[in-house]
C-alpha cells in the first residue's frame, strides 16, 4: 500500500500542506489483497471515494467511482482491496457554517457569491496558460 499525503498526518508522517482547518487529505493506492485500518475521531466528517478498483469498507463492498458514506458512529475504518484500488480519503471537523452556491462558486452568503463572480471577471483568480 502507498499513501500520498497531501495534507494532515498519516501514521506520524506529515503532508506538504498544513491546513488551517485541520483537514487530512490522502490518496491511498492499495494492491489486491491489501488491508488497512484508518483511525478517525467520530466527530470528524469523512470523504471516502473509490476512484478505481474494488474494496470492502467496514464489511460493505464497493467499486469504481463510488462514494462511501459514514454515520459518524465509530473511530475506525477497515479497508481491504479485492482488486487493485485507488482511494481519495479526506476527513475534517464540520465547519457548521451556512452554504450558498451558484454554478462552481461555493461561499457562505449570496453576497459572497456575487463578489467571487466579480473577482473572476476582474481576473483575480489567476490566469490560463496556453
At 46-97, the pLDDT tens digits run 999 999 999 999 999 999 999 999 998 999 999 999 999 999 999 999 989 9
Q: Is the pLDDT of residue 130 over 90?
A: no
Percent of the chain past pLDDT 70, that is, above it, reads: 97
Distance (Å, whole) CA 75 – CA 81: 20
Domains of the chain in sequence order: 2-92 (2.60.120.10), 95-124 (no CATH)
Look up the pTM and report it. 0.79
Strand, helix or coil for residue 2: strand
At 81-91, the pLDDT tens digits run 999 999 999 99
Report which of residues 70 and 126 the model is more confident about: 70
Amino acid at each position: 500500500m502507498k499513501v500520498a499525503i497531501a495534507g494532515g498526518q498519516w501514521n506520524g508522517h506529515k503532508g506538504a500542506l498544513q491546513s488551517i482547518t485541520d483537514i487530512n487529505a490522502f490518496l491511498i493506492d492499495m494492491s489486491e489483497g491489501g488491508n488497512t485500518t484508518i483511525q478517525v475521531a467520530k466527530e470528524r466528517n469523512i470523504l471516502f471515494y473509490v476512484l478505481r478498483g474494488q474494496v470492502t469498507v467496514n464489511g460493505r463492498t464497493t467499486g469504481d467511482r463510488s462514494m462511501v458514506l459514514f454515520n459518524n458512529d465509530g473511530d475506525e475504518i477497515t479497508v481491504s482491496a479485492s482488486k487493485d484500488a485507488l482511494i481519495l480519503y479526506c476527513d475534517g471537523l464540520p465547519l457548521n457554517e451556512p452554504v450558498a452556491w451558484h454554478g462552481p462558486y461555493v461561499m457562505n452568503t449570496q453576497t459572497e457569491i456575487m463578489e467571487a463572480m466579480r473577482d473572476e471577471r476582474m481576473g483575480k483568480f489567476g490566469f490560463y496558460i496556453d
